[in-house]
A and B are shown apart, each in its own frame.
Chain A
């Protein structure tokens, strides 16, 4: 199925998926409907002490393994853990470092940088501090210290990830993996193993459009930026999606000025327009940021020979030269390209589409003739369905469910996404225009409920009243179509909505649930309560003991 997000991605700068670095390590299991309520909540970082014998021997003696996963990123890791739980003998092949992009070059280190930038921003905001009655003298930072924090965090999470797999007995095979043929995988120089099922989870790498010369110093990708080897005075960020936004937050907090270069006509494509407008008011306008929209960076030359970084801009539509920028650095955040080269796909007659491995809604790989390749699956960024770490993990679990005999189709509309700016942006489901389009097609009515963080006690206590939560729903039956939040801890708040969507909970039911006061969660509660649903509550509300 085509997810709601694919629409937003198709809007991104270079029509390439823009994989957020911001996705959390949230447990992927929240997508398993049957798991709700009884499955212990597990984080990627926690060890599990469960059926270790599960990874003892393959169920079918003719194979070395029941399941081999190529790529030990978050997707592969999620699949491996679930496979062991399901009693499959599992191996995971990693050619680089365990953890993949998310842990080593993505979500995780960027969260460390954002944690720093959030504090810097707060400490530098005299007005904000004053309104607390706090007096803080000039805040400063040590770049290396910040960089070390990010690096240490990545190392820690990587070790946690490795240990969690080792603890379960997952075989971690080192070397680049490739598909030799049906149910046969090669890794390293010439180690060949067989498996009943194979999952490709090789992820993605930063996408660099042609004409852009990346030198790793002044023209960089997120891979370099996360090492924070320098804080340029002025940095151009090509692409204003999640990655670009988050980095603009980091860089401006550390004192840089930022220029966005966006191919589309407006910044922050892919967000709900209302959220995007407010976000621009808060995240862009008051900061030392300017932008060029509707332009491509056709050529970027790193700083050399005493010249700054040169960026040639051409009109996105007419392709006519528009401007030349001279900046100190350029960050290429135009999205991510699948990492599928050298996978041996030709051995099984699979042709990639712009690098992505075509799959069906069950992540089964489709070959050049449009036929399903048996026993071969592809999850995560490599299939391009929804380039989020937790989506990859959810897809992996879905695949394991299928190979263990339970058909499962992942509903991508239940997968939340978040951007960890200050304040955060989060969303699940459809945007308002998407919902209206769908409503028109299918003939139902759409209503909008909105609430402001200014009405929330906890947010006001934090002096963070800036924010908006918005819910798109069907007034006839109370179905939640989408929720978008911009405000303090939005990334954490979205899950009540995403869970409700995943479980099919209707507004008229969930609005009776009790939220602790005063908490930010009341923002979402307000949304539910503000909705006007025609149908009555479907179930008798349980008597809930409220803690006040």
Chain B
């Protein structure tokens, strides 16, 4: 039952994508107003705005609660076209500690004015040619840093205009301590609550790092106007760089005032800001939240001056505190930083425009009260989700060079607390290119005592024979991989017992795990691809002009050998039709490598799970400072894939599916080990078989190929990333096989043992966040696939049948994102219809 108190909020990462937001995410704004949280620190929005607004600390009154009006794009465009000819001269920050300055002297020439700061008198120069049109702050008077102290006109004719302007803004502009960018400042003509800001913390001292200062000087950025995002709010080099690159805040702030009052906007960088925002691959996740408790709480705290915004911001802040990755920012696409502060920006409508106010230092904001009952409801997290992800975290440590890494035989969690007494000796990676190693000889025999640093085994890598030493004292309890045998890097080749008594135990252990870890996972059996069930357009054949000589580049040949790909069977897409490394990788089912030196093959990314990072409720690293975390290979790969996805024109089609029958079936087959994922995959696979175009892929924008196999990739969050194990031939395998296969794949994914073809050969992706209660979301289409399905939670919904009878049915929202170059709306609609039909009459699934 949807009532007015059903508050739908959504986490939205693109504040500039307003049209999308308003019609998509704020659908019931007519009922109770829409709210969206611009997670300011998730600079998925815009790094620049984040920075600038972080400084305007204003946790105080927030106007226009519950009304969010979006400025039309046209007004923005207008703002951009007007360029000011009259510039304001600001009180500069002459030292990092200076908060205000006194005009010692008005000078002529290049130096315009002499300012007395807390440290010294200094000449202030103008960066522009023009005329000193008006002096706003006279000699001997004092003005805060950033206040306009004079006006600079570009032409003589404008002097008068400037003078009028100066007269019309008496002291206000000199008093308002709005943080100005170096070039110009907004004229905060309307009264707005920001001045209250500084009051709370008292006058803020500007602290900048040495490099930041140097950069500021170099780029002529007024360091006082830069908002610090570093630890303790200090200004770092990147802050200065951001400020120097685009004084975006000006643009944003300027919009607070009504359009006609914007003569002094220098908003050119706005476009840069916009484009920056658009270059971020974003996705949306919806979540229905019951607000009964919140409403009740609100009624209670309202008399104390607590606003609904404050409540929501507090709730978001607390949720963010548990999920720092949502509060992180990625500025360069190569690394991201966990932000130490949770600064929530709130979009507020003001006089037809909108402003983003930032509430920083969430944890300390004393103004807000919240009951625990509310928090558990409103929090983005829910206990269930954290649990399920905790279980999905079990990566095998990757052994490093010449280091014998140990791994606990039992559960992951025990590693943290209990130290195993039996250690595994791993095949070390003796070189960066080594994937497997051959045991040349065991220097020690079973049962022999080992001292730390002693050589235990000689391993032959692709480069050389090397002694492998042990880092632990103990006994060589068991040799798992014998001399002359080969084991992949990271596989256990022997067991090390700490005491003699444990040797037996270790031996038993070695016996119980026969070949699993020692044997090289055999290359995948070539998946034979029988013709699809339905007649379909002939697969796009490679137009060949006669028998052609196979030309492959050196790297391609090497890769082919490495991945055991028959180079003759690879279609070359390089210049002159030659086979390049990426062709081989594609043939081998690998994702194209990111950089020339082949890193571990990255997985294609599907819909990222929002809580993927949070391992347990208590454990997420609450980083004290914003620490920059370079992307891991997997994250880089995800990042690259996501950026690539921006070049594909996608659209989304949603469909509510009745799941009563499916749920009933699930209950029935669950004891047989069938998972919901398998059911959904099977259903999708069957639907895809009927709609081959949705299973097609378009790689070059000129042609597309019907894939002969229906391989459904399923997004799985694993520690530190996201991977998409692929269920091949989902339409053909029966449900039980699929379930079994899925279990196997997930196990492999968690232990990072997936073979490339097991996560890379997908033709369609399924992403299910329903188990977290997410009711709807959209997924980003992974490059190389035609469509991705985002499955939300199934929940009881009031349905009226054609006779007007109401009933409650379980419905889930399915949202498919597809490549519009090959899949059209009607295709997708038909596919979804088929899918819904299958799910609603699921008997065919078990056939």
Contacts and interface: CB of A to CB of B under 8 A. Distances in A.
B554 A288 contact: yes
A286 B433 contact: yes
Nearest to B559: A288
Interface string B597-617: 101000000000000000000
A307 interface: yes
B700 interface: no
Given A124-B596, A233-B553, A328-B575, A288 B464 contact: no
B554 A286 contact: no
Given A128-B432, A257-B553, A308-B575, A288 B462 contact: no
Interface stretch (A53-61, A131-139, A191-199): A131-139
Nearest to B334: A137
Contacts of B551: 325-326
Interface in B363-416: 400-401
Contact of A137 (B335, B400, B429): B335
Contacts of B555: 257, 288
Contact of B554 (A124, A138, A257, A324): A257
B523 interface: no
B332 interface: yes
B595 A308 contact: no
A125 B597 contact: yes
A289 interface: yes
A131 B554 CA distance: 28
A366 B557 CA distance: 51
A342 B45 CA distance: 71
Interface in A105-126: 124-126
B82 to A, nearest CB: 38
Contacts of B595: 124, 138
Nearest to B400: A131
B633 interface: yes
Interface in B430-444: 431-433
A175 interface: no
B732 interface: no
A9 interface: no
B433 A281 contact: no
A126 B554 contact: no
B554 A308 contact: no
Interface string B420-454: 00000000010111000000000000000000000
B576 A307 contact: yes
Nearest to A291: B554
Contacts of A127: 401, 429, 431-432
B554 A289 contact: yes
B463 A288 contact: no
Contact of B549 (A281, A307, A324): A324
A255 B555 CA distance: 11
Contacts of A286: 431-433, 462-463
A288 B630 contact: no
How many residues of A sit at the interface, in one of the four size bands? 20 to 34
Contact of B596 (A259, A288, A308): A288
Contacts of A308: 575-576
B795 interface: no
A88 to B, nearest CB: 53
Interface string B561-579: 0000000000000111010
Nearest to A452: B464
Contacts of B334: 137-138
B630 to A, nearest CB: 4
Interface centre among B432, B433, B549, B633 (most CB of A within 10 A): B432
A142 B431 CA distance: 29
Contacts of B597: 124-126
A126 B464 contact: no
Contacts of A205: none
A282 B553 contact: no
Contacts of B463: 281-282, 285-286, 466
Nearest to B401: A131
A234 interface: yes
B469 to A, nearest CB: 12
Contacts of B631: 137
A255 B557 CA distance: 16
A511 to B, nearest CB: 26
A137 B464 contact: no
Contacts, number: 71
A265 interface: no
B592 to A, nearest CB: 14
A165 interface: no
A324 B599 CA distance: 32
B361 interface: no
A278 B463 CA distance: 8
A22 interface: no
Given A124-B595, A125-B597, A128-B432, A234 B553 contact: yes
B575 A288 contact: no
A258 interface: yes
A307 B401 CA distance: 45
A186 to B, nearest CB: 50
A298 B578 CA distance: 22
A288 B599 CA distance: 14
Contacts of B581: 257, 288
A138 B553 contact: no
B642 to A, nearest CB: 16
B597 to A, nearest CB: 5
Contacts of B575: 233, 308, 328
A132 to B, nearest CB: 12
B643 interface: no
Given A126-B633, A281-B463, A290 B576 contact: no
A324 B576 CA distance: 14
Contacts of A131: 400-401
A282 B400 CA distance: 20
Contacts of B401: 127, 131
A495 B400 CA distance: 36
B594 interface: yes
Given A125-B432, A233-B575, A135 B630 contact: yes
Interface centre among A128, A257, A259, A282 (most CB of B within 10 A): A257
Given A288-B596, A308-B576, A137 B462 contact: no
B596 A255 contact: yes
A194 to B, nearest CB: 57
A118 to B, nearest CB: 14
A126 B401 CA distance: 13
A147 B635 CA distance: 34
A140 to B, nearest CB: 9
A288 B597 CA distance: 9
Nearest to A134: B630
Contact of A259 (B429, B464, B554, B630): B554
Interface in A83-104: none
B464 A281 contact: yes
A257 B551 CA distance: 13
A234 B556 CA distance: 11
B688 to A, nearest CB: 36
B558 interface: yes
Contacts of A233: 553, 574-575
Contacts of B429: 127
B553 A137 contact: no
Contacts of B462: 281, 285-286
Interface string A281-300: 11001101110000000000
Contacts of A234: 553-554, 578
Contacts of A289: 554
A51 B449 CA distance: 73
17 contacts: A126-B432, A126-B597, A131-B400, A131-B401, A135-B630, A257-B554, A257-B555, A281-B462, A281-B463, A282-B463, A285-B462, A286-B432, A286-B463, A290-B554, A308-B576, A326-B551, A328-B575
Given A258-B554, A308-B575, 4 more contacts: A125-B432, A138-B595, A288-B553, A289-B554
9 cross-chain pairs, A with B, having the tightest CB-CB distances, nearest first:
A127-B432, A290-B554, A288-B555, A137-B334, A135-B630, A257-B554, A257-B553, A286-B433, A257-B555
